[in-house]
């Protein structure tokens, strides 16, 4: 068929793609004319079968085009993820033989106080960062949206933290919040207040990490919200104002309800990324757990679950236990995302 196309909705030649051609253009207008017979006959499979090529082989260019991602994904993501499940039921140091231990790793996890502490740290840091972050982002977006001047400048300035290297930011925060030599404590001293030992108190450590995350992502979220705000027709605001609604009433009755899908998006993204904090405490409190028993800082207050996972895997070479930690943690993230989703969705149904 490929060399002598027939009339009607017959498939085109093999290399020019599938029967329908470009989506939405299934017309026969682009069939190859008989003027180029045989030009596109494909070797391999076509030769073997002669005559019209049927089935899946016809689509080989498309499959070839999409294959790199799925190949890489299978080798470096899908297979490893499943293998991590397998590992969670083994005892393995990465070199010797694996030993099947059943649910022992998970039982150990359940009784491991450091795991629970790392979860608590992670959740506290997440709440301390996400709540003010999204709230301030919404406020900033409303402010930028209310003015017409310098908006381009504001957008760029607010966006820049989100493309800055996290390592650099962590080093900067470490220097500025340093107990003895930090800028913050110098300012407090200048105001005749007592210095705060930011980097050795259980709560201030979490506060510093949360502040870091807030600094990095508030502007990004503000710009996402801003895009949503600009899509709200201004007639709605005018109508509300005509009816005598004040700015607060407009915010809660028009802006937030109409932004709900976007708010849902930012909540999900902030949950997924915020719970995965790792680089912040890892850079702030040194990298080597074997020389530093206080990994995660004094009192392990900055030990997040992923940092704990990293130590178990790559410092203690306890791969089986690390696999159990990371899968348990992933399921927890999933659960929290679903809960968040439900919460935001339910509010939507309310009038």
Partner 1 sequence: MNSQNRKRLRGLSVHAVLMICVVISVFPFYWIVVMATNTSQDIYSYPPKLWFGGNLLTNIQHLFDKMDFFGSLLNTVTVAVCTTLLVLFFDSLAAFAFAKYEFPGKKFLFGLLLAMYILPTQLAIIPQYEIMVQLGWLGTLKALIVPAAANAFGIFWMRQYTSTGVPDELLDAARIEGAGFFRQYWHVVLPCVRPALAFLGIYTFIAAWNDYVLPLVMLVDPSRLTLQVALAQLYAGHSTDYSMVMAGVLLAVIPLVLVFTFFARGFIADATKGALR
What is the footprint of partner 1 within residues 270-329 (CB under 8 A)? 272, 276, 278-279, 282-283, 286-288, 306, 309, 313-314, 319, 322-323, 326-327
Task: Report the DSSP beta bridge partners of residue 91.
Answer: 99
Assess contact for 230 and 93: CB atoms under 8 A: no
What's the Rg (C-alpha) of the chain? 29
Neighbours of 238 (CB within 10 A): 10
**Contact pick of 46, 134, 144, 328 for partner 1 (by CB under 8 A):** 144
Residues 193-212 that bind partner 1 (CB under 8 A): none
Residues 73-112 that bind partner 1 (CB under 8 A): 73, 75-77, 79-81, 83-84, 87, 94
Q: Which is nearer to partner 1, 98 or 351 (CB)?
A: 98
Assess contact for 124 and 206: CB atoms under 8 A: yes
Assess contact for 178 and 198: CB atoms under 8 A: yes
Spell out, one character per residue from 118 to 137, where the chain touches partner 1: x when CB under 8 A holds, - when not: --------------------
Q: Does 45 bind partner 1 (CB under 8 A)?
A: no
Assess contact for 103 and 182: CB atoms under 8 A: no
Q: Which is nearer to partner 1, 114 or 231 (CB)?
A: 231
Q: Does 163 bind partner 1 (CB under 8 A)?
A: yes
Assess contact for 321 and 109: CB atoms under 8 A: yes
Closest approach, Cβ 251 to partner 1, in A, equals: 14
Please give the Cα distance from 200 to 207 (Å, whole number).
Answer: 11
Q: Which is nearer to partner 1, 165 or 351 (CB)?
A: 165
Please give the Cα distance from 280 to 304 (Å, whole number).
Answer: 10
Q: Using CB under 8 A, which of the segments 3-11, 113-121, 202-210, 265-273 binds partner 1?
A: 265-273
Q: Report which secondary-structure segment, H or E, holds 91.
A: strand 90-91
# of chain residues touching partner 1 (CB under 8 A): 107
Torsional sign, CA 100, 101, 102, 107: negative
Contacts of 143 (CB under 8 A, 6+ apart): none
Q: Which is nearer to partner 1, 243 or 288 (CB)?
A: 288
Q: Does 226 bind partner 1 (CB under 8 A)?
A: yes
Q: Using CB under 8 A, which of the segments 23-31, 102-110, 117-125, 249-257 binds partner 1?
A: 23-31
Q: Using CB under 8 A, which of the segments 97-105, 114-122, 218-226, 293-301 binds partner 1?
A: 218-226
Q: Does 66 bind partner 1 (CB under 8 A)?
A: yes
Please give the Cα distance from 168 to 225 (Å, whole number).
Answer: 27
Q: Does 175 bind partner 1 (CB under 8 A)?
A: yes
- The label of the residue with tokens 């406020």 reads 139
Q: Using CB under 8 A, which of the segments 53-61, 101-109, 200-208, 343-351 binds partner 1?
A: 53-61
Q: Which is nearer to partner 1, 164 or 345 (CB)?
A: 164
Per DSSP, the three-state class of 90 is strand
CA distances from 151 to 144, 146, 147, 156, 192 (A): 6, 10, 7, 9, 38
Q: Which is nearer to partner 1, 242 or 350 (CB)?
A: 242
**Contact pick of 109, 169, 213, 324 for partner 1 (by CB under 8 A):** 169
Please give the Cα distance from 45 to 13 (Å, whole number).
Answer: 14
Q: Does 259 bind partner 1 (CB under 8 A)?
A: no
Closest approach, Cβ 120 to partner 1, in A, equals: 19
Among residues 11, 3, 6, 7, the alpha carbon closest in space to that of 46 is found at: 3
Q: Does 143 bind partner 1 (CB under 8 A)?
A: yes
Q: Does 156 bind partner 1 (CB under 8 A)?
A: yes
Please give the Cα distance from 319 to 327 (Å, whole number).
Answer: 12
Closest approach, Cβ 82 to partner 1, in A, equals: 9
Closest approach, Cβ 147 to partner 1, in A, equals: 5
């Amino acid at each position: 068929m490929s060399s002598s196309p027939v009339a009607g909705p017959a498939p085109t030649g093999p290399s020019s793609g599938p029967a329908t051609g470009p989506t939405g253009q299934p017309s026969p207008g682009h069939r190859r004319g008989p003027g180029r017979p045989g030009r596109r006959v494909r070797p391999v499979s076509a030769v073997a079968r002669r005559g019209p090529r049927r089935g899946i082989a016809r689509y080989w260019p498309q499959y070839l085009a999409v294959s790199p991602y799925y190949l890489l994904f299978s080798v470096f993501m899908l297979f490893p993820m499943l293998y991590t499940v397998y590992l969670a039921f083994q005892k393995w140091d990465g070199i010797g033989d694996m030993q099947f231990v059943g649910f022992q790793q998970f039982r150990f996890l359940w009784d491991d106080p450091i795991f629970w502490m790392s979860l608590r740290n992670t959740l506290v840091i997440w709440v301390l960062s996400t709540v003010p972050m999204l709230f301030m982002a919404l406020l900033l977006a409303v402010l930028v949206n209310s003015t017409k001047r310098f908006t381009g400048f504001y957008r760029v300035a607010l966006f820049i933290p989100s493309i800055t290297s996290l390592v650099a930011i962590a080093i900067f925060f470490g220097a500025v919040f340093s107990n003895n030599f930090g800028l913050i404590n110098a300012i407090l001293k200048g105001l005749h207040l007592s210095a705060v030992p930011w980097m050795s108190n259980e709560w201030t450590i979490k506060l510093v990490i949360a502040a870091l995350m807030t600094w990095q992502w508030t502007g990004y979220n503000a710009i996402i919200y801003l895009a949503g705000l600009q899509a709200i027709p201004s007639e709605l605001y005018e109508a509300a104002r005509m009816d005598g609604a004040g700015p607060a009433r407009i915010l809660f009755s028009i802006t937030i309800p109409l932004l709900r899908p976007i708010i849902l998006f930012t909540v999900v993204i902030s949950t997924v990324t915020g719970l995965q904090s790792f680089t912040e405490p890892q850079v702030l409190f040194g990298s080597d757990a074997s020389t530093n028993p206080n990994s995660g800082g004094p009192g392990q207050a900055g030990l997040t679950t992923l940092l704990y996972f990293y130590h178990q895997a790559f410092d203690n070479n306890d791969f089986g236990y690390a696999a159990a930690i990371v899968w348990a943690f992933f399921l927890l993230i999933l659960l929290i995302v679903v809960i968040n989703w439900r919460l935001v969705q339910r509010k939507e149904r309310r009038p």
